[in-house]
């Protein structure tokens, strides 16, 4: 089973506008309960070599995968229909930091400057 904090390579195709597409790495951000109950649907942020932007968070050094996690591009993807490949996992501390940023994006009581 895919777990929160896993980096997988998956097809982000079928997009419109500025959304990230193509077969690329992504960081699984949905928690393990969500992943086990949603029938293969996971929440994932693409990884890219994008420009600097406050919601583009560098992956930790020492991983095979390089780039930035694009937190504002979070998507729900069916990993079974998109033929994913597991690459590696990030630390619990790193996924906790990403989770705080994602929470700040959707929680009306948190300001982005507080993260």
Range of the domain at 105: 6-114
Residue 75, in any domain of the structure = yes
The count of domains in the chain is: 1
pLDDT digits over 3-30, tens only? 999 999 998 877 555 445 578 999 999 9
Name beta bridge partners: 76.
43
Name beta bridge partners: 8.
26, 86
How far apart CA 109 and CA 3 sit, in angstroms, is 28
Residue 20, in any domain of the structure = yes
Question: Given pLDDT bands bounded at 50, 70 and 90, which one contains residue 51?
Answer: confident
Q: Return the CATH number at 35.
A: 2.30.30.110
Question: Given pLDDT bands bounded at 50, 70 and 90, which one contains residue 80?
Answer: confident
Residue 1, in any domain of the structure = no
pLDDT of residue 19: 47
pTM: 0.88
């Amino acid at each position: 089973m895919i777990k929160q904090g896993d980096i997988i390579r998956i097809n982000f195709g079928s997009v419109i506008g500025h959304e990230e597409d193509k077969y690329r790495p992504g960081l699984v951000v949905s928690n393990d309960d969500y992943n086990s109950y949603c029938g293969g649907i996971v929440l994932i942020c693409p990884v890219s070599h994008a420009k600097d932007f406050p919601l583009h968070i560098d992956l930790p050094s020492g991983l095979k995968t390089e780039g930035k996690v694009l937190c504002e591009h979070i998507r729900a993807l069916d990993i079974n229909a998109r033929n994913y490949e597991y690459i590696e996992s990030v630390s619990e501390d790193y996924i906790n930091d990403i989770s705080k940023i994602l929470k700040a994006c959707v929680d009306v009581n948190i300001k982005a400057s507080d993260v």
